[in-house]
Amino acid sequence: MEKFKDLGIGEPLLKSIKGEKFERPSEIQEKSIPLILAGRDVIAGSATGSGKTLAFASGILQGSERGKGIQALVLTPTRELTEQVAMALTKFSKYMPLEIIAVYGGVGINPQIRGLKTADVVVGTPGRILDHIGRNTIRLGKVKILVLDEADRMFDMGFKEDVERIIRKCPGERQTLLFSATISKDVVRLARSHMKKPLQVSVESYVDPKKLVQTYYDVGDDMKFSLLVHLLKHEDSRLVMVFCNTKRNTDKVAKNLKFSGIDAQAIHGGLPQGKRNNVMKQFHSGKACVLVCTDVAARGLDISGVSHVYNYDIPRESKQYIHRVGRTARAGAEGKAINILSMKDYDNFSNVLRDNDVEITEEAMPVMEKAEMRKPEGRGNKLIFRRGQQHNRRRHR
């Protein structure tokens, strides 16, 4: 606890941190909290899993008072991240009650309008915040601290203009904190026009390579699904994330895993918000242990206890690989990233190896049953016994 105290964190927040059983500050917390508490504008190069939420929470919580209007605004790219950040802020503010509200699209606007009247801290997605600005149901004139969370992602998702419009609605006299996994040109441009003498801090890496085992299987396209089923049934795992590149594949894989007796749920941007929240609730509570997802839906989600990440499709963008595998081996725990590649993944996999400093070891194919994927017409899945082939182990660097 002493180390958190040394960063300048006050008693009520220290108490919540103690309750969370955090032993020492993470690297991004150590580097950014003293600057944040000194009121500086900060650009932090850090991703989900780095502990960035507590970093900006320290500034928000120590600078806000109950009942003095909206004093802090946090913009995030996705609805899930909004929920997650609002929940984290609520937890951290246990001993300094503040009204914290999550504001995002896809759900009713009226409860948000009521909540905004008395909120002290607002976390939201740019679209819905702008909607409230247009309706005059949000007052940003008291904002002292503005946080742009996952700024690069907000820009990738096309929210650049929206974010700028919102920034212009906030008072000029404010502190701005920008968190981003990558410091892109757009991030730099935004910082130049909207931040005051920002200081930049970054952390080297958010995947602990010592705790993360990365492997791949080279498999025929017709055996890909069978191998996934086999591994899910035989690997000793807790929560599992299976990544696919498209919504269609996500649905198809989740559905067929269920047919194969595996408790899987799909999450992607095409699902209604209520359904997405439900899926996340089930996964958080451990009711569904396998989450099949796209990058967009998974981005920014903080789920602790993920022991395995599977790449059922290898990501098209090589940096996405790091985001995906960063879901496991968090906060000192061990994790495994398993890549299941067939011929159509070779190009993407070569890019992953070329662009990232990762060590991925080939695993021999196990002996397994063939699990047929159901045809869309709904024909039954046959289980055909087939002997696997043994490959020599190779190492890729």
Q: How far is CA 121 from CA 37, 66, 350, 364, in A?
A: 17, 9, 44, 52
Q: How far is the CB of 54 from ligand AMP (least distance, A)?
A: 5
Number of C-alpha atoms within 13 angstroms, CB side, residue 221? 4
Q: How far is the CB of 303 from ligand AMP (least distance, A)?
A: 8
User: Under the criterion CB under 6 A, does residue 51 sit at the interface with ligand AMP?
Assistant: yes
Question: Closer to ligand AMP at the Cβ: 23 or 65?
Answer: 23
User: Under the criterion CB under 6 A, does residue 302 sit at the interface with ligand AMP?
Assistant: yes
Question: Closer to ligand AMP at the Cβ: 125 or 226?
Answer: 125
Dihedral over Cα of 147, 152, 154, 160: its sign: positive
User: Under the criterion CB under 6 A, does residue 329 sit at the interface with ligand AMP?
Assistant: no
User: Under the criterion CB under 6 A, does residue 22 sit at the interface with ligand AMP?
Assistant: yes
Of the candidate residues 7, 13, 25, 191, the single one contacting ligand AMP (CB under 6 A): 25
Question: Closer to ligand AMP at the Cβ: 95 or 259?
Answer: 95
With beta carbons less than 8 A apart as the criterion, state whether 365 and 241 touch: no
Q: How far is the CB of 31 from ligand AMP (least distance, A)?
A: 12
Tell me how many residues contact ligand AMP (CB under 6 A). Answer: 14
User: Under the criterion CB under 6 A, does residue 54 sit at the interface with ligand AMP?
Assistant: yes
From the list 20-28, 196-204, 289-297, 361-369, the region that binds ligand AMP by CB under 6 A is 20-28
User: Under the criterion CB under 6 A, does residue 53 sit at the interface with ligand AMP?
Assistant: yes
DSSP 179-212: EESS--HHHHHHHHHH-SS-EEEE-S-SS-TTTE
Question: Closer to ligand AMP at the Cβ: 29 or 180?
Answer: 29
User: Under the criterion CB under 6 A, does residue 50 sit at the interface with ligand AMP?
Assistant: yes
Q: How far is the CB of 24 from ligand AMP (least distance, A)?
A: 6
Q: How far apart are CA 289 and CA 310, in angstroms?
A: 13
Question: Closer to ligand AMP at the Cβ: 80 or 345?
Answer: 80
Question: Closer to ligand AMP at the Cβ: 267 or 306?
Answer: 306
From the list 52-60, 276-284, 286-294, 365-373, the region that binds ligand AMP by CB under 6 A is 52-60
Type of residue numbered 335:
G
Two structure tokens written together for 17: 């941190």
Q: How far apart are CA 20 and CA 16, in angstroms?
A: 6
Of residues 63, 107, 65, 64, the one with CA closest to residue 82:
107
Question: Closer to ligand AMP at the Cβ: 132 or 153?
Answer: 153
Type of residue numbered 330:
R
Q: How far apart are CA 252 and CA 236, in angstroms?
A: 24
Question: Closer to ligand AMP at the Cβ: 9 or 157?
Answer: 9
Q: Which are the contacts of 91, defined by CB distance < 8 A and separation ≥ 6?
A: 16, 20
Of the candidate residues 48, 78, 82, 339, the single one contacting ligand AMP (CB under 6 A): 48
Q: How far is the CB of 29 from ligand AMP (least distance, A)?
A: 6
In which element (H, E) is residue 269 found? none
For 35, phi then psi, to 5°, come to -70, -40
Q: How far is the CB of 284 from ligand AMP (least distance, A)?
A: 11
Of the candidate residues 26, 82, 93, 250, the single one contacting ligand AMP (CB under 6 A): 26
With beta carbons less than 8 A apart as the criterion, state whether 177 and 21 touch: no
User: Under the criterion CB under 6 A, does residue 82 sit at the interface with ligand AMP?
Assistant: no
User: Under the criterion CB under 6 A, does residue 304 sit at the interface with ligand AMP?
Assistant: yes
User: Under the criterion CB under 6 A, does residue 336 sit at the interface with ligand AMP?
Assistant: no
Q: How far is CA 375 from CA 73, 313, 342, in A?
A: 48, 19, 20
Binding mask 100-129 for ligand AMP (x = CB under 6 A): ------------------------------
Q: How far apart are CA 163 and CA 133, in angstroms?
A: 12
Query: C-alpha angle 182/185/188, rounded to 5°?
Result: 85
What's the first-to-final CA gap in the chain, in angstroms?
39
Question: Closer to ligand AMP at the Cβ: 84 or 311?
Answer: 84
With beta carbons less than 8 A apart as the criterion, state whether 338 and 372 touch: no
Query: C-alpha angle 60/31/100, rounded to 5°?
Result: 15
Number of C-alpha atoms within 13 angstroms, CB side, residue 278? 7
Q: How far is the CB of 43 from ligand AMP (least distance, A)?
A: 16
Q: How far is the CB of 20 from ligand AMP (least distance, A)?
A: 6
- List contacts with ligand AMP (CB under 6 A): 22, 25-26, 29, 48-54, 302, 304, 331
